[in-house]
Amino acid sequence: MSSIPVDRSPDSTLAFLRDGYRFIGDRCDRYGSDIFQTRLLLVPTICLRGRPAAELFYDNDRFRRRGAMPMRGQRTLTGVGGVQGLDDAQHRVRKAMLMSIMTPAAIRQLGQLFDDEWRARIPSWERSGPAVLYDEVARMLTRAVCAWAGVPLADSDVARWTAELHAMIEASAVLGPRHWRGRLARRRAERWAGEVVDRARAGALPAPEGSALRVIAEHRDDRDRPLPRRIAAVELLNVLRPTVAVDRFVVFAALALHDHPQWRERVRGDEPATETFVQEVRRYYPFFSVAAARVRRSFEWAGHHFPQGRRVLLDLYGTNHHPELWPGPEQFRPDRFVGWRGDPFTLVPQGGGDHLTGHRCAGEWITVELMKRAVTNLTTTISYRVPPQDLALSLRRLPALPPSGFLIDGVRRIA
């Protein structure tokens, strides 16, 4: 049996925070191995990247999720007790609940609501000076997803809840004030979502059939019990928060259109080209860096020993940029997705494997739909200028975003 290369440092937590998206990839390159071992928060951790690693990582018989994500991530990003940390029957039943919301018709409906928000906003962009696309899209998505999910939201509350949802997303991989702001935001948001669930259960809020609120409020778990109010709130936020997070991908798509203007012409009114463009945006730009699991029972893989209970991180960013999977990985080339057959273990910005039986992102189809709508809107419903601004994308900042949030100016309706 070959031993797993061991990172030299006694604990790599600070390096993990400092090196950001390149933490695993840099070390894999250094050791000439797609697997190495380190300590993070003093816990021995095996880091992996690449297709065989992704296939291994999404094998439910070998890995579990309970106890995999550090509490600091649960108390900000995901919440405690949500689908992310469940295994086996509990996970299957909870995940089936979430996936039941994601029908093609429902996804189209959410896309339409987003389009409506976009069109409604154009006159104000035409009137005002520069607008920050990130903030604009965030508020549109908050409105759209709340309306779609059956969650009432007064106009006066849109900015506030958008900020709270953002704060949760910003907080998990940082120390200091940004982290504590995220914890506070989660406490407030769970209280808010819990009250909404209470009202739906009491019949005081008529949530439409099939809406996220109705499905979650009425859900019964693997032992036929309703979800406790707090857990129902966590799952409702598992729909709202990441839908608003699609704003980052929209900014990345705008950045790609700006940096590769030839694609503006290619995607305009061309659905297949828009799809390849969106897939390349999801591959190329950095969003979540890793996914975490724990070894269920000891096993050997590729000559390496994985001891029971060991924490394992799959490098999502590094797999999306693996040179053996993606020739010229640091080039933005949507054409690589022409005729792509959809391997579940190579394009993993939202996890890999199967949506229903595994932990792959429940909202992947929603994400692609919303991104396609945004790209279509950016290329066919408005024209705009991109004024001078700081668009540098740092791979050290988790989650990444250009500092300016992508300013647009001189907006005109063209359709």
Using CB under 6 A, list all residues that contact ligand HEM. Answer: 83-84, 95, 98, 238-239, 242-243, 245-246, 249, 287-288, 291, 316, 349-351, 359-363, 366-367
Q: Nearer to ligand HEM by C-beta: 58 or 337?
A: 58
Q: Nearer to ligand HEM by C-beta: 334 or 349?
A: 349
The answer to whether the peptide bond before residue 206 is cis (omega within 30 degrees of 0) is no
User: Closest separation between CB of residue 51 and ligand HEM, Å?
Assistant: 15
Name the residue whose CB lies closest to ligand HEM.
363
Q: Nearer to ligand HEM by C-beta: 217 or 411?
A: 217
Q: In whole angstroms, give the CA distance from residue 225 to residue 202.
A: 17
User: Closest separation between CB of residue 82 and ligand HEM, Å?
Assistant: 7
User: Closest separation between CB of residue 172 and ligand HEM, Å?
Assistant: 12
Q: Nearer to ligand HEM by C-beta: 64 or 95?
A: 95
Q: Nearer to ligand HEM by C-beta: 125 or 406?
A: 406
Output Rg (C-alpha) for the chain, integer angstroms. Answer: 21
Q: Nearer to ligand HEM by C-beta: 150 or 242?
A: 242
Return phi, psi of residue 359, to 5°. -100, 10
Q: Nearer to ligand HEM by C-beta: 66 or 268?
A: 66
User: Closest separation between CB of residue 355 and ligand HEM, Å?
Assistant: 8
User: Closest separation between CB of residue 202 and ligand HEM, Å?
Assistant: 25
Q: Nearer to ligand HEM by C-beta: 114 or 192?
A: 114
Q: Which amino acid is at 103?
A: T
User: Closest separation between CB of residue 365 and ligand HEM, Å?
Assistant: 9
User: Closest separation between CB of residue 10 and ligand HEM, Å?
Assistant: 28
User: Closest separation between CB of residue 151 and ligand HEM, Å?
Assistant: 13
Q: Nearer to ligand HEM by C-beta: 125 or 337?
A: 337
Q: Nearer to ligand HEM by C-beta: 35 or 368?
A: 368
Q: Which spans in 66-211 are helix H?
A: 71-73, 88-100, 104-127, 133-149, 158-171, 177-201
What distances in angstroms separate CA 189 from CA 144, 180, 378, one per listed residue? 17, 14, 31
Residues 6+ positions from 286 with CB-CB distance below 8 Å: 20, 21, 317, 393, 395, 399, 400
User: Closest separation between CB of residue 262 and ligand HEM, Å?
Assistant: 26
Evaluate whether 211 touches 150 at the Cβ level (below 8 Å): yes
The DSSP string of 16-62 is HHHHGGGHHHHHHHHHTSSEEEEEETTEEEEEE-SHHHHHHHT-TTT
Count the Cβ atoms, other than its own, within 10 Å of residue 100.
Answer: 13
Enter the DSSP assignment of 99.
H
Q: In whole angstroms, give the CA distance from residue 118 to residue 136.
A: 9
Q: In whole angstroms, give the CA distance from residue 248 to residue 254.
A: 10
What distances in angstroms separate CA 415 from CA 140, 272, 383, one per listed residue? 19, 21, 10
Give the residue from 310, 312, 319, 364 showing the smallest Cα distance to 346: 319
Q: Nearer to ligand HEM by C-beta: 86 or 408?
A: 86
Evaluate whether 126 touches 385 at the Cβ level (below 8 Å): no
**Tokens matching residue 150:** 């059956």
Evaluate whether 348 touches 320 at the Cβ level (below 8 Å): yes
User: Closest separation between CB of residue 181 and ligand HEM, Å?
Assistant: 20
**Tokens matching residue 342:** 């959809």
User: Closest separation between CB of residue 127 and ligand HEM, Å?
Assistant: 30
